[in-house]
Each structure stands twice: as structure tokens, then as C-alpha cells.
């Protein structure tokens, strides 16, 4: 089996990838995550995943690199991680009482091959009161999470329904990632 590197500092991605029974190293690249003009959310998450994979491949040229990026989309807006309490409240106000979509771009690459995919999951969020928002913010869980929530944590209480991949909402769609790895191994 080839040496695998997960291009992410996310503990959730690390935990998810362990579910596939793989041994891997973790190395988090530092890339520019600015949104390009006219770039839609699918293009954005796929580009960032591929940029992360490219950056890590430079350091580990003989390895298989797995990279991902996750963001939320609502009303044609890309919602990333909250920059402040106020920003988190703005995000929650946008998704409260309605459906939104979580998109993850995944890139698996070697020096010979580069495969990527975008996975989309629909998430229904209950109406949040100001008290709900204050209480959830106080837990510290929203920090560093796309959309300012963690479906695998306390926020599960606010999510009555999803359509699609649960692991995508956590941050790494496992079924699709496993398929990309299988294809890379087949082509190798």
C-alpha cells in the first residue's frame, strides 16, 4: 500500500478517514482560501481541495494525497467558518428554519493521477431562537466549523433531517473518498 497523506488539520477528517481502516500521515498545507469572482460553491470547494492536494504533493511526491474542503451554500452565498460571534449569528440567521446545502470537494492525487469530486448534502435546520444561538455559541463548538455548526456534536439537536451523505456534512464524504482511492489504486 502506498504512503497516504491527509492534507488537513481537521480532527473530524482524521477520525472519518480512520473509519476506512487506512494508515496515513497528516500534513496541513497553508493555502489562500479566498473566493474568486464569479466562482460558485462547487467550483470553490473543488478548487481548494485540489490546491491543498497539489501543495502537499510537493512535500510528499511519492505519496497518495487526500484533500478536502467543505462549505455551506444558501441563497447563492458561500458560508465558511465563523470569524466572530456576530458572524456565527449571521450564518445561523440565514440557515434557521430552512434547508441549506453542504458541499465538499475531495481530491485524491499522486504525481501521475489527479481525481476530484464534489459531494452535496441537503440539511434541514430548525428555527433557532436568540437564546438557542447564545447557548450554542457558549459551548465553543461552532468555532472552526463550516456553517458554524457540527452535525456530529451538539448541533444534531437542531437538525431534523438530511438528504445525502452524513459524513459529507461532518467534513469528508467517505463513500466517495473510498471510490476515488480505489480508482487511483486501479490506475496506478
Cross-strand partners of 26: 6
Please indicate whether residue 51 is annotated as part of the active site: no
Please state, in angstroms and rounded to a whole number, the distance separating the CA atoms of residues 72 and 164.
Answer: 14
Identify the residue whose cell numbers are 462547487: 42
Catalytic hit among 32, 69, 75, 132: 69
SS3 130: helix
Q: Which helix (H) or strand (E) holds 46?
A: helix 41-59
Radius of gyration for the chain, computed over Cα atoms and rounded to the nearest angstrom:
17
* Cα–Cα distance for residue pair 94/30, rounded to 1 Å: 29
Q: Distance between CA 52 and CA 10 in Å, rounded?
A: 13
- Contacts for 58 with CB less than 8 Å, ≥ 6 apart: none
Which residues does the annotation mark as catalytic? 69
Amino acid at each position: 500500500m502506498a504512503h497516504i497523506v491527509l492534507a488537513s488539520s481537521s480532527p473530524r477528517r482524521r477520525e472519518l478517514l480512520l473509519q476506512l481502516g487506512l494508515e496515513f500521515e497528516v500534513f496541513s498545507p497553508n493555502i489562500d482560501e479566498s473566493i474568486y469572482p464569479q466562482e460558485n460553491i462547487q467550483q470553490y470547494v473543488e478548487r481548494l481541495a485540489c490546491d491543498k492536494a497539489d501543495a502537499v504533493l510537493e512535500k510528499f511526491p511519492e505519496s497518495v494525497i487526500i484533500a478536502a474542503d467543505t462549505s455551506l451554500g444558501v441563497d447563492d452565498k458561500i458560508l465558511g467558518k465563523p470569524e466572530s460571534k456576530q458572524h456565527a449569528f449571521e450564518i445561523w440567521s440565514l440557515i434557521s428554519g430552512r434547508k441549506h446545502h453542504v458541499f465538499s470537494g475531495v481530491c485524491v492525487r499522486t504525481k501521475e493521477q489527479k481525481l476530484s469530486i464534489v459531494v452535496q448534502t441537503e440539511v434541514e435546520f430548525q428555527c433557532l431562537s436568540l437564546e438557542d444561538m447564545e447557548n450554542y455559541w457558549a459551548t465553543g463548538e461552532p468555532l472552526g466549523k463550516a456553517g458554524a455548526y457540527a452535525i456530529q456534536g451538539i448541533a444534531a439537536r437542531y437538525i431534523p433531517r438530511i438528504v445525502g451523505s452524513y459524513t459529507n456534512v461532518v467534513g469528508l464524504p467517505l463513500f466517495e473518498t473510498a471510490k476515488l482511492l480505489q480508482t487511483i489504486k486501479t490506475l496506478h
